[in-house]
Amino acid sequence: MSGEEPAPPYPAYGQTQGAGQPAGYGQAPGADPSANYGQPAGYGQQPGYGQAPGYGQAPGYGPYQGYGYTGDKDPDLAEWWRRLLARLIDWVILWAVFAPLWVPPWRTFIRAYRRIASAYPPGANLNNYPAAKQAVSTASGDLLYKLIFIGLVFYLVAFSYDAIQHAAWGQTIGKRALGTKVVNADTRANVGGLAACGRAAIFALSPLVPLVGWIFALLNELWLTWDRRTQCLHDKAAHTVVVKKSYPGTPPAGRW
């Protein structure tokens, strides 16, 4: 038996682990000598070492992951109330511009009716007089044709109002007031003229179809209140979304 004492299984006081000992001392045969046995994973490293805090995640938005978001709500998107208020402002502007055009036809009809009624006894039912009935029918038809013509012009102007402004700036007057903008749903780039026109056609021209068009127009506007991306049906057709102009990923000023 040799006179040397066996080495202790732990380092002596004041001696660093492994000092004066062969590599892998105290490890099972065949074990990787570079492994930190008995130490937790990442021992000796700061948390998140080599990675910026919150990397790949917008601050405060949970699972949101940029344009191809994976969470339930994209924080860039304009809220439904912003969109409806912006649209209300645009409609008020259009109706205010066209209000003077609706007055003359009605004034002409009322004057014609009074003139016809004045030729008969007060309170008389004009339907009992063939001549009076025919005169009122003619005046009513003239009023209807004028209102239809003004309505066609109104919706064509509404189409142009929507298409031109979105193609040029991505914003109507209402959207400027509410701080929102129409962009491509995938790239968030400005919408082109074709997409702007298609979007405007579905929005502005569908009411020209009696009854069915009106129901569709109402459904189109209300769709954003329950849609996950706050899209109307005309947004889905044109592949656009409406974003807040001050969202966290706002492009450089030149993009706006």
Which residue ranges of the chain lie beneath pLDDT 50? 1-2, 13-14, 16, 18-19, 48-71, 248-256
d(CA 133, CA 139): 10
At 4 the pLDDT is 53
| pLDDT given for residue 54 in this prediction | 46
Write the pLDDT tens digit of every residue in 130-163.
999 999 999 999 999 999 999 999 999 999 999 9
pLDDT at residue 245, rounded to an integer:
83
Q: pLDDT value at position 7?
A: 53
pLDDT reported for residue 6: 56
- 26 and 8 Cβ atoms separated by less than 8 Å: no
Q: Let me know: does 167 contact 197? Beta carbons within 8 Å.
A: yes
pLDDT confidence of residue 174: 96
- Residue 57, amino acid: Q
Structure tokens at 126: 């004009």
Q: What is the pLDDT at residue 46? A: 52
CB 215 within 8 A of CB 207: no
Please name the residue that has the structure tokens 């400005």: 190
Tell which residue, 226, 243, 221, has the closest CA to residue 87: 221
What's the confidence (pLDDT) of residue 68? 45
Predicted pLDDT at 74: 85
**CA gap 249, 246 in Å, rounded:** 8
Q: Please give the pLDDT value at position 210.
A: 87
pLDDT of residue 124: 85
Helical H segments across 126-188, by residue range: 130-168, 173-178
pLDDT value of residue 63? 43
pLDDT of residue 23: 52
Q: Are 175 and 182 in contact (CB under 8 A)?
A: yes
Of 138, 203, 137, 120, the C-alpha closest to 166 is 203
CB atoms within 10 A of CB 178: 23
| pTM for this entry | 0.65
